[in-house]
Chain A
């Protein structure tokens, strides 16, 4: 059974940093690209970043480029999101999601971890 479990969220001051983790199990982690998608309170879904299975290719939304960094440790089957220079508008539930290969879909999602940026 595929499981994705996010952790690392919390309350952080503007300008601060946080590292999110997503522990994966139930599939061969290094075979799949992985994603971070966020949802501000009461708002819609916003794609944040994608990383290839090997980790050699990364993609970012313009709104986070230069501040958030996606990475993965295939030995630990864990996805990360390093979040620096955080802003109030980064406040959201952050979901990790697994790619359905060679398709448009993200087929498994974690339950999310909440990041609140506030003084």
Chain B
């Protein structure tokens, strides 16, 4: 099973700042990595798929990069609605696995 490790666990930032979230895989997942945003009481929302492709309707301030074992989700300038939980997920090998999540909170 491929283990995804997200860091940091919590990111404390102010609106307008840049957020950089990391996801590291225990073995290569090529570019088969996705990122999701989840707010309390809501279902996850797909942000990025295949490492760097933005999902439909996702603002350009969200970007993804990386390949192999190291991936990054960047939010270029945090909006108030971006404070949430973020998960990475791989689909290179069964089983599909998720990272433990990074909480982006208001500083």
Contacts and interface: CB of A to CB of B under 8 A. Distances in A.
The B contact surface, by secondary structure, is loop
Given A100-B46, A112-B43, A62 B90 contact: no
Q: Classify chain B: how many residues form its interface, as a range.
A: 20 to 34
A88 interface: no
Contacts of B87: 44-45
Nearest to A105: B49
A47 B43 contact: no
Contacts of B31: 104
B98 A46 contact: yes
Contact of B46 (A46, A60, A62, A106): A106
B1 to A, nearest CB: 8
Interface of A: 35, 37, 44-47, 50, 59-62, 95, 97, 100, 103-112
22 contacts: A35-B96, A46-B98, A47-B89, A47-B97, A59-B95, A60-B95, A97-B44, A100-B55, A103-B34, A103-B49, A104-B31, A104-B32, A104-B89, A105-B48, A105-B91, A106-B34, A106-B46, A106-B89, A107-B46, A109-B44, A109-B45, A111-B43
